[in-house]
Amino acid sequence: MLLGPPGAGKGTQAQIIAGQLGVPAISTGDIFRANVSGKTELGLAAKSYMDAGDLVPDEVTVAMVKDRLAEADAKAGFLLDGFPRTIAQAEQLRSSLHDLGHALDRVLELVVDEDELVRRLSTRWVEVDGQRVQREDDKPETVRHRLQVYREQTAPLSGFYDSEGLLARIDAIGTVDEVTERALGALGQDGAEGSEQPGGPTGQPSAG
Ligand code: AMP
Protein backbone atom coordinates (compact mmCIF):
# COMPACT_ATOMS: atom_id res chain seq x y z
CA MET A 1 0.00 0.00 0.00
CA LEU A 2 1.01 3.62 -0.53
CA LEU A 3 0.87 6.00 2.41
CA GLY A 4 1.48 9.71 2.18
CA PRO A 5 -0.12 13.14 2.42
CA PRO A 6 -2.27 14.67 -0.33
CA GLY A 7 0.02 15.87 -3.10
CA ALA A 8 2.80 13.35 -2.39
CA GLY A 9 2.20 11.67 -5.76
CA LYS A 10 0.45 8.51 -4.55
CA GLY A 11 -1.97 8.38 -7.49
CA THR A 12 0.75 8.78 -10.11
CA GLN A 13 3.08 6.28 -8.48
CA ALA A 14 0.26 3.82 -7.79
CA GLN A 15 -0.57 3.58 -11.51
CA ILE A 16 3.07 3.04 -12.51
CA ILE A 17 4.00 0.62 -9.74
CA ALA A 18 0.81 -1.43 -10.08
CA GLY A 19 1.48 -1.64 -13.82
CA GLN A 20 5.00 -2.94 -13.12
CA LEU A 21 3.71 -5.49 -10.63
CA GLY A 22 0.78 -6.54 -12.83
CA VAL A 23 -1.82 -5.88 -10.14
CA PRO A 24 -4.72 -3.40 -9.97
CA ALA A 25 -4.23 -0.05 -8.23
CA ILE A 26 -7.16 0.47 -5.89
CA SER A 27 -7.67 4.14 -5.07
CA THR A 28 -10.45 4.98 -2.64
CA GLY A 29 -10.35 8.64 -3.78
CA ASP A 30 -10.90 7.55 -7.41
CA ILE A 31 -13.75 5.22 -6.44
CA PHE A 32 -15.41 7.98 -4.44
CA ARG A 33 -14.98 10.51 -7.28
CA ALA A 34 -16.49 8.05 -9.81
CA ASN A 35 -19.47 7.61 -7.48
CA VAL A 36 -19.86 11.35 -7.03
CA SER A 37 -19.85 11.84 -10.84
CA GLY A 38 -22.32 8.97 -11.26
CA LYS A 39 -24.53 10.46 -8.51
CA THR A 40 -24.80 7.08 -6.80
CA GLU A 41 -25.97 6.66 -3.22
CA LEU A 42 -22.34 6.14 -2.16
CA GLY A 43 -21.31 9.28 -4.04
CA LEU A 44 -24.04 11.32 -2.35
CA ALA A 45 -22.94 10.00 1.05
CA ALA A 46 -19.30 10.91 0.36
CA LYS A 47 -19.54 14.24 -1.46
CA SER A 48 -19.96 16.69 1.41
CA TYR A 49 -17.02 15.17 3.30
CA MET A 50 -14.81 15.24 0.22
CA ASP A 51 -15.66 18.83 -0.68
CA ALA A 52 -14.82 19.91 2.87
CA GLY A 53 -11.52 18.00 2.80
CA ASP A 54 -12.68 15.68 5.58
CA LEU A 55 -12.46 11.91 5.63
CA VAL A 56 -15.53 9.96 4.58
CA PRO A 57 -16.71 8.00 7.66
CA ASP A 58 -14.90 4.71 8.26
CA GLU A 59 -18.04 2.52 7.98
CA VAL A 60 -18.76 3.78 4.46
CA THR A 61 -15.14 3.54 3.32
CA VAL A 62 -14.38 0.15 4.84
CA ALA A 63 -17.50 -1.47 3.35
CA MET A 64 -16.61 -0.10 -0.08
CA VAL A 65 -13.03 -1.40 0.08
CA LYS A 66 -14.16 -4.79 1.30
CA ASP A 67 -16.38 -5.16 -1.78
CA ARG A 68 -13.60 -4.00 -4.07
CA LEU A 69 -11.03 -6.42 -2.62
CA ALA A 70 -13.44 -9.31 -3.16
CA GLU A 71 -13.50 -8.68 -6.94
CA ALA A 72 -11.79 -11.21 -9.20
CA ASP A 73 -8.92 -8.97 -10.37
CA ALA A 74 -7.73 -8.47 -6.78
CA LYS A 75 -7.28 -12.18 -6.09
CA ALA A 76 -3.62 -12.28 -7.10
CA GLY A 77 -2.67 -9.07 -5.33
CA PHE A 78 -3.30 -5.33 -5.48
CA LEU A 79 -1.84 -1.96 -4.61
CA LEU A 80 -3.82 0.24 -2.23
CA ASP A 81 -3.69 4.00 -2.77
CA GLY A 82 -5.32 6.26 -0.18
CA PHE A 83 -6.57 3.49 2.07
CA PRO A 84 -6.29 2.99 5.00
CA ARG A 85 -6.31 6.56 6.30
CA THR A 86 -7.14 5.94 9.96
CA ILE A 87 -5.96 3.37 12.53
CA ALA A 88 -9.53 1.97 12.62
CA GLN A 89 -9.43 1.45 8.83
CA ALA A 90 -6.03 -0.25 9.15
CA GLU A 91 -7.40 -2.66 11.74
CA GLN A 92 -10.46 -3.40 9.59
CA LEU A 93 -8.19 -3.93 6.59
CA ARG A 94 -6.09 -6.44 8.47
CA SER A 95 -9.15 -8.46 9.36
CA SER A 96 -10.64 -8.26 5.82
CA LEU A 97 -7.32 -9.39 4.34
CA HIS A 98 -7.09 -12.20 6.86
CA ASP A 99 -10.56 -13.40 5.79
CA LEU A 100 -9.47 -13.33 2.14
CA GLY A 101 -6.22 -15.21 2.92
CA HIS A 102 -4.09 -12.13 2.18
CA ALA A 103 -1.75 -9.91 4.18
CA LEU A 104 0.04 -6.66 3.38
CA ASP A 105 3.51 -7.27 1.93
CA ARG A 106 4.83 -3.73 2.21
CA VAL A 107 3.83 -0.17 3.06
CA LEU A 108 5.61 2.60 1.16
CA GLU A 109 5.39 6.04 2.73
CA LEU A 110 5.97 8.87 0.26
CA VAL A 111 7.69 11.67 2.18
CA VAL A 112 7.34 15.29 1.01
CA ASP A 113 7.60 18.45 3.12
CA GLU A 114 4.49 20.56 3.59
CA ASP A 115 5.59 23.64 1.63
CA GLU A 116 6.11 21.47 -1.42
CA LEU A 117 2.72 19.77 -0.92
CA VAL A 118 0.87 23.11 -0.80
CA ARG A 119 2.74 24.25 -3.91
CA ARG A 120 1.91 21.04 -5.81
CA LEU A 121 -1.76 20.93 -4.84
CA SER A 122 -2.49 24.57 -5.52
CA THR A 123 -1.09 24.23 -9.05
CA ARG A 124 -2.64 20.84 -9.82
CA TRP A 125 -5.15 20.58 -12.66
CA VAL A 126 -7.17 17.54 -13.55
CA GLU A 127 -9.14 16.68 -16.67
CA VAL A 128 -12.89 16.28 -16.33
CA ASP A 129 -14.97 15.73 -19.49
CA GLY A 130 -12.07 16.97 -21.59
CA GLN A 131 -11.69 20.18 -19.58
CA ARG A 132 -8.83 21.15 -17.30
CA VAL A 133 -10.26 22.06 -13.91
CA GLN A 134 -9.05 22.40 -10.34
CA ARG A 135 -10.39 19.77 -7.96
CA GLU A 136 -12.84 21.30 -5.49
CA ASP A 137 -10.69 19.97 -2.64
CA ASP A 138 -7.47 21.46 -4.10
CA LYS A 139 -8.62 25.02 -3.24
CA PRO A 140 -6.06 26.57 -0.83
CA GLU A 141 -8.22 26.60 2.33
CA THR A 142 -9.33 23.01 1.74
CA VAL A 143 -5.75 21.92 1.08
CA ARG A 144 -4.67 23.29 4.44
CA HIS A 145 -7.50 21.40 6.13
CA ARG A 146 -6.66 18.14 4.29
CA LEU A 147 -3.05 18.43 5.46
CA GLN A 148 -4.24 18.91 9.04
CA VAL A 149 -6.54 15.86 8.71
CA TYR A 150 -3.55 13.91 7.38
CA ARG A 151 -1.34 14.93 10.31
CA GLU A 152 -3.99 14.09 12.90
CA GLN A 153 -5.68 10.98 11.51
CA THR A 154 -3.43 9.37 8.90
CA ALA A 155 0.17 10.12 9.89
CA PRO A 156 -0.07 7.76 12.93
CA LEU A 157 -0.26 4.87 10.43
CA SER A 158 3.44 5.39 9.75
CA GLY A 159 4.29 4.24 13.28
CA PHE A 160 1.60 1.56 13.18
CA TYR A 161 3.12 -0.13 10.10
CA ASP A 162 6.71 0.55 11.17
CA SER A 163 6.09 -1.41 14.35
CA GLU A 164 4.88 -4.29 12.18
CA GLY A 165 8.11 -4.16 10.16
CA LEU A 166 6.22 -3.33 6.94
CA LEU A 167 7.18 0.32 6.43
CA ALA A 168 9.65 1.76 3.94
CA ARG A 169 9.96 5.55 3.76
CA ILE A 170 10.65 6.96 0.30
CA ASP A 171 11.90 10.46 -0.48
CA ALA A 172 9.15 11.57 -2.89
CA ILE A 173 10.82 14.77 -4.06
CA GLY A 174 12.32 14.48 -7.53
CA THR A 175 11.10 13.41 -10.93
CA VAL A 176 8.34 10.82 -11.27
CA ASP A 177 10.93 8.34 -12.61
CA GLU A 178 13.29 8.93 -9.68
CA VAL A 179 10.54 8.34 -7.14
CA THR A 180 9.34 5.22 -8.98
CA GLU A 181 12.88 3.87 -8.95
CA ARG A 182 13.18 4.40 -5.18
CA ALA A 183 9.77 2.78 -4.63
CA LEU A 184 10.56 -0.27 -6.74
CA GLY A 185 13.91 -0.50 -4.96
CA ALA A 186 12.11 -0.68 -1.62
CA LEU A 187 9.89 -3.43 -3.03
CA GLY A 188 12.93 -5.38 -4.21
CA GLN A 189 11.70 -4.92 -7.80
CA ASP A 190 14.46 -2.68 -9.16
CA GLY A 191 16.16 -4.07 -12.25
CA ALA A 192 14.50 -7.38 -11.54
CA GLU A 193 12.46 -7.51 -14.73
CA GLY A 194 10.74 -10.83 -15.16
CA SER A 195 11.35 -11.84 -11.58
CA GLU A 196 7.76 -11.19 -10.48
CA GLN A 197 5.90 -14.27 -9.51
CA PRO A 198 2.78 -15.13 -11.51
CA GLY A 199 0.68 -14.71 -8.42
CA GLY A 200 1.69 -11.09 -7.93
CA PRO A 201 4.00 -9.33 -5.51
CA THR A 202 4.08 -12.13 -3.01
CA GLY A 203 7.86 -12.30 -2.62
CA GLN A 204 9.43 -11.31 0.64
CA PRO A 205 10.28 -7.64 0.76
CA SER A 206 13.94 -6.73 0.88
CA ALA A 207 15.31 -5.67 4.23
CA GLY A 208 16.00 -2.06 3.26
P1 AMP B 1 -7.63 11.29 -2.50
O2 AMP B 1 -7.92 11.28 -3.96
O3 AMP B 1 -6.98 10.04 -2.04
O4 AMP B 1 -6.91 12.53 -2.06
O5 AMP B 1 -9.06 11.32 -1.76
C6 AMP B 1 -9.96 12.38 -1.96
C7 AMP B 1 -10.96 12.42 -0.82
O8 AMP B 1 -11.71 11.20 -0.79
C9 AMP B 1 -10.37 12.55 0.57
O10 AMP B 1 -10.06 13.88 0.92
C11 AMP B 1 -11.51 11.98 1.42
O12 AMP B 1 -12.58 12.91 1.53
C13 AMP B 1 -12.00 10.83 0.54
N14 AMP B 1 -11.24 9.59 0.86
C15 AMP B 1 -10.38 8.92 0.05
N16 AMP B 1 -9.89 7.83 0.66
C17 AMP B 1 -10.43 7.81 1.91
C18 AMP B 1 -10.30 6.96 3.04
N19 AMP B 1 -9.49 5.89 3.02
N20 AMP B 1 -11.03 7.26 4.14
C21 AMP B 1 -11.85 8.32 4.18
N22 AMP B 1 -12.00 9.18 3.16
C23 AMP B 1 -11.30 8.94 2.03
Neighbours of 73 (CB within 10 A): 11
C-beta 137 within 6 A of ligand 1: yes
Cα dihedral 83, 84, 85, 90 in deg (nearest 10): 180
Q: Where are the alpha helices (DSSP H) in the chain?
A: 10-21, 28-37, 41-52, 58-69, 87-100, 114-122, 140-149, 156-163, 176-186
Mutate to test the pocket of ligand 1, among 27, 49, 56, 145 (most ligand atoms within 8 A of CB): 56
Which residues lie closer than 8 Å to 74 by C-beta, 6 or more apart? Answer: 23, 24, 26, 68
Q: Is 2 in the pocket of ligand 1 (CB under 6 A)?
A: no
Output the CA 101–ligand 1 centroid distance in Å.
26
**What is the residue-level pLDDT of the chain in tens, covering all 208 positions?**
999 999 999 999 999 999 999 999 999 999 999 999 999 999 999 999 999 999 999 999 999 999 999 999 999 999 999 999 999 999 999 999 998 888 999 999 999 999 899 888 888 888 888 888 888 888 888 999 999 999 999 999 999 999 999 999 999 999 999 999 999 999 987 754 433 443 334 444 433 3
Helix (H) or strand (E) holding 26: strand 25-27
Q: What is the distance in A from the centroid of ligand 1 to the CA of 55?
A: 6
Whether 146 is a known active-site residue: answer: yes
Residue 16 CB-density burial (10 A; 0-12 exposed, 13-18 middle, 19+ buried): middle
CA 43 to ligand 1 center in whole angstroms: 12
